[in-house]
Amino acid sequence: MKLTPDQIAQFDRDGYLFFPGLFTPQEMKSLNEAVPALTLRRDAFNVREKGSDAVRTTFAAHLYSEPFARLARHPRMVEPVQQLLGEAVYMHQFKINSKTAFEGDVWQWHQDYGTWRNDDLMPTERAMNVAIFLDDVNAFNAPLMFIPGSHKKGVIDATYDLTTTSYPLWTLDHALVAQLVERAGGKHGGIVSPLGPAGSMIVFHSCLVHASSSNLSPWNRVSVYLSLCAVSNHIRRHKRPEYIAQRDFTPIACLPDDCLLREHPVELPWKNGMPASALVTSLAEI
């Protein structure tokens, strides 16, 4: 899938592009069917909400679940990212965020690149986030919130938050977030939430400031987040376990466009379990 010059200009201005209904309900079927069995697993890659058994994030499913391994190589997802970064990309992080009905907890205001730089020593922000909705996203099931244009600020100083939720995150100062929202139009467009059916996709800049509130609605808001990094910009430290920050910098080779509808062989290196090496961490620079 090729982006038009207008889309590239829009991405540069706003820091994101939204593609409502990019994948059909038939294409989403195998992904949605695979999720319940994945969240039942008692593995380290399932991070649960604070004080609850509800799964917050399932990491690295592209290494042990066939439908997600195919999604990770889908040309409609990979090609726009390659075009924006002008280089081959590898999978830095792969997560399924459940945002379970009634239980899904907040994601504080943050930039993803803040965490990738501080924890993983990723040299520059030449990495991109892609969100793919597995459920319909509406105003009530805690949609992502973006501050349009906030990626132009570059990397913003952040504080390491270990307490608010079950997942450590470098989060932003509220006064600064308020300023950024004002600058982006305040009540008139200073915060936007792309809403749409399951199968919609968002591509967003790794410095775009975003957050989401808790999900008090009766509807799950399961989304897949794929973080693709330019190969030359690979991380330089394995401070986090491999299921969170991937260590295989091989460029992604795309499958055919119908790969979610037909069988296409894919490698599943963690099919029989995560290797013990994936839990080994180090502060050494590579």
Q: Which does 144 bind (CB under 5 to 8 A by kind): Mn ion, ligand SIN, none?
A: ligand SIN
Q: CB of residue 223 vs Mn ion: minimum separation in angstroms? A: 11
Nearer to ligand SIN, 76 or 99 (CB): 99
* Phi/psi at 279 (5° precision): -95, -10
Q: CB of residue 194 vs Mn ion: minimum separation in angstroms? A: 14
Q: CB of residue 95 vs ligand SIN: minimum separation in angstroms? A: 7
Q: Which amino acid is at 184?
A: A
Q: Alpha-carbon distance 145 to 134, whole Å?
A: 17
Q: CB of residue 257 vs ligand SIN: minimum separation in angstroms? A: 26
Nearer to ligand SIN, 82 or 97 (CB): 97
Pair 36, 220: CB distance under 8 Å: no
Nearer to ligand SIN, 104 or 149 (CB): 104
Q: Where do contacts with ligand SIN occur on this chain (CB under 6 A)?
A: 97, 99, 107, 144, 210, 212, 223, 225
Q: Which H or E run includes 176?
A: helix 174-183
Q: CB of residue 99 vs ligand SIN: minimum separation in angstroms? A: 6
Q: Which does 31 bind (CB under 5 to 8 A by kind): ligand SIN, Mn ion, none?
A: none
Which residues lie below 8 Å from residue 252, measured CB to CB, with a gap of 6+? 72, 73, 78, 88, 89, 90, 91, 228
Q: From the list 14, 103, 112, 120, which residue makes contact with Mn ion (rule: CB under 5 A)? A: 112
Q: Which structure tokens are listed for 233?
A: 């910009």
Q: In the complex, which residue's CB is closest to ligand SIN?
A: 212
Q: Which structure tokens are listed for 227?
A: 């973080």
Q: Which does 46 bind (CB under 5 to 8 A by kind): ligand SIN, Mn ion, none?
A: none
Nearer to Mn ion, 112 or 120 (CB): 112
Q: Which does 135 bind (CB under 5 to 8 A by kind): Mn ion, ligand SIN, none?
A: none
Q: Which does 245 bind (CB under 5 to 8 A by kind): Mn ion, ligand SIN, none?
A: none
Q: CB of residue 57 vs ligand SIN: minimum separation in angstroms? A: 8
How many binding residues for Mn ion (CB under 5 A)? Answer: 1
Pair 136, 200: CB distance under 8 Å: no
Radius of gyration of the chain (CA): 18
Q: Alpha-carbon distance 183 to 148, whole Å?
A: 10
Q: Which does 97 bind (CB under 5 to 8 A by kind): Mn ion, ligand SIN, none?
A: ligand SIN
Question: What CA–CA distances, in Å, run from 228 to 81, 139, 172?
Answer: 8, 27, 23
DSSP code per residue over 33-54? HHHHHHHH--STTEEEPTTSSS
For binding to Mn ion (CB under 5 A), which residues are involved? 112
